[in-house]
Amino acid sequence: MFSERVQSRVAQREATRLRVLSSAERLFREQGFGSSTIRQIATDAGVSTGTVMSVGDKDALLVAIFDTWIAAVHHGREAEQGRGGVTPLSPGAAAEAVLDLVEPFISYFALDLELSREYAAVIVRGTHESEIFQTLAGALIAELEALLSRTSLTATGAAGGARTLYFAYLGILMTVGYGALDQRGAVAQFREVIHFVVDREGTQR
């Protein structure tokens, strides 16, 4: 009984957190990050300002919005793990598969450049931690390494290539966030990096 009550409270807190993030994202996108206030978010979510602040200040809310969406993409892929995971990939097929992994994130950042720019600014300031450098980094690197391991790259080459692609991905996301690169340009730039990695197969045996 006690365990059920604890689980119920945990579930309620998570539901409240998600409701706050949903309201914050809607307001940020509709009226702008700078124009949105904690009080407005609280009213929209039907909670107190204290409850909103327990989730985080505006910067923390913005980081959580991006991190939650990115995490959802990774979790959605978990069900796909193991499907076709051993089929060898040519360099061209590997490049397209890698691009398919990363393109949703580029598209998300390009969806609202103003909000993405605010997110990038928060990250650069270093005042709020983002899972994009922690758990989410591990998830993406693992996905990239699994794909590269299906090419002719050695295990060491696949691991190094995955890290190279991950850091290129971060740089491109931040560049998109600052509006210096549009979605099409970002995809083209990342494609070049992918080919730099996978086309080295012949030298990694």
pLDDT at res. 38: 97
pLDDT at res. 66: 95
Is 26 in contact with 86 (CB distance < 8 Å)?
no
Q: Which single residue is written with the structure tokens 């009226």?
A: 31
pLDDT in tens, 168-179: 999 998 888 888
pLDDT at res. 199: 83
- The model carries a pTM of 0.83
pLDDT at res. 42: 98
Its CATH class, for the domain covering 1-55, is: mainly alpha
Give the residue extent of every domain in the chain.
Answer: 1-55, 57-203
pLDDT at res. 79: 57
Q: What is the DSSP letter of 130?
A: -
Q: Could you say which residues of the chain have pLDDT below 50?
A: 84, 202-205
